[in-house]
């Protein structure tokens, strides 16, 4: 049996990361945090002081950098940037550069190379629709925007950031609009994906639900 691929797509704040990590741990798969890859790329672009709307320059910076993930840590050219990439500014910039086709091409190549090495749980916004369209099991997590903003707000406070709920909600809505309307790999429900609304579910409830489905699908 070859490597297995499970994808979890959805907008920001739906619990994709925590659930994907939990599934990977339970099944012994690699957790592929694609959002972290895009944030790392955004951080590299920001620190390089180039125009983030210049597609050619952005792609060049990424192609000449080494972006990697080891466990739950993210590295740029060997430096651990796991905390730096979690700011609201970098998250918003990551969404902007995700609209650039050449940037996506560079990062998709990294993602697919990881899947060649091990069974993975990949979470992001186009995992089941573009990056891994033939994944063994696909999920799409969703939740109302105010609940997603609340989760993100609490996460930022827990990490020591000076966050304001109204600003976080505005950023969530702006990112939703950008992700859904971009011409390159817009946020959509992938074909054959199972949709799960996490608005009123705890992490453990979502995790249990998805694990049950995965075990049934992979045993067929």
Per-residue pLDDT of the chain (220 residues; tens, 9 = 90+): 579 999 999 998 899 989 999 999 999 999 998 889 999 999 999 999 999 999 999 999 999 999 988 877 899 999 999 999 988 889 889 988 988 999 999 999 989 988 998 999 999 889 999 999 999 999 999 999 999 999 999 988 988 888 899 999 999 999 899 888 888 888 999 999 999 999 999 999 999 999 999 999 998 6
Q: Model's pTM, two decimal places?
A: 0.82
Does any domain span residue 100?
yes
Query: 141: part of which helix (H) or strand (E)?
Result: strand 137-142
CB contact burial 30-63 (16+ within 10 A = b; e otherwise): bbbbbbbbbbbbbbbbbeeeeebeeeeebbebbe
SS3 75: strand
Tokens at residue 42, please? 């955004």
Does any domain span residue 211?
no
Does any domain span residue 218?
no
Q: How many residues does the chain have?
A: 220
How high is the pLDDT of residue 48?
A: 94
Integer Cα distance of 50 and 63 in angstroms: 14
Q: Dihedrals φ, ψ of 99, to 5°?
A: -85, -5
Does any domain span residue 219?
no
CB contact burial 140-153 (16+ within 10 A = b; e otherwise): bbbbebebbbbbbb
Q: In angstroms, how far apart are the furthest CA atoms of the chain?
A: 51
How high is the pLDDT of residue 155?
A: 87
Integer Cα distance of 132 and 182 in angstroms: 19
Does any domain span residue 187?
yes
Cβ–Cβ contacts within 10 Å for residue 173, how many?
A: 15
Instruction: Provide the residue range defining the domain that includes 40.
Output: 5-206
Does any domain span residue 220?
no
Does any domain span residue 147?
yes
Total tally of structural domains belonging to the chain? 1
How high is the pLDDT of residue 175?
A: 87
How high is the pLDDT of residue 1?
A: 54
The CATH number for 117's domain is 3.40.50.300
Does any domain span residue 216?
no
Integer Cα distance of 61 and 77 in angstroms: 12
Contacts of residue 21, Cβ cutoff 8 Å, sequence gap at least 6: 31, 72, 121
Whether the Cβ atoms of residue 67 and residue 37 lie closer than 8 Å to each other: yes
SS3 132: coil
């Amino acid at each position: 049996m070859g490597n297995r691929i499970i994808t979890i797509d959805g907008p920001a704040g739906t619990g994709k990361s925590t659930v994907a990590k939990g599934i990977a741990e339970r099944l012994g798969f690699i957790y592929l945090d694609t959002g972290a890859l895009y944030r790392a790329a955004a951080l590299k672009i920001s620190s390089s002081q180039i125009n983030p709307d210049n597609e050619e320059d952005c792609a060049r910076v990424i192609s000449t950098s080494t972006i990697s993930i080891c466990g739950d840590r993210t590295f740029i050219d060997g430096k651990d940037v796991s905390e730096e990439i979690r700011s609201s500014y970098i998250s918003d910039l990551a969404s902007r550069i995700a609209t650039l086709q050449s940037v996506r091409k560079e990062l998709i190549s990294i993602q697919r190379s990881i899947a060649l090495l091990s069974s993975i749980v990949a979470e992001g916004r186009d995992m089941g629709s573009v990056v891994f369209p033939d994944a063994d099991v696909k999920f799409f997590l969703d939740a109302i925007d105010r609940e997603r903003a609340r989760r993100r707000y609490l996460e930022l406070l827990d990490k020591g950031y000076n966050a304001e709920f109204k600003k976080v909600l505005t950023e969530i809505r702006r990112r939703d609009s950008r992700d859904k309307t971009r011409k390159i790999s817009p946020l959509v429900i992938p074909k054959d994906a199972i949709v799960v609304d996490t608005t009123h579910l705890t992490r453990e409830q979502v995790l249990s639900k998805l694990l049950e489905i995965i075990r049934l699908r992979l045993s067929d």
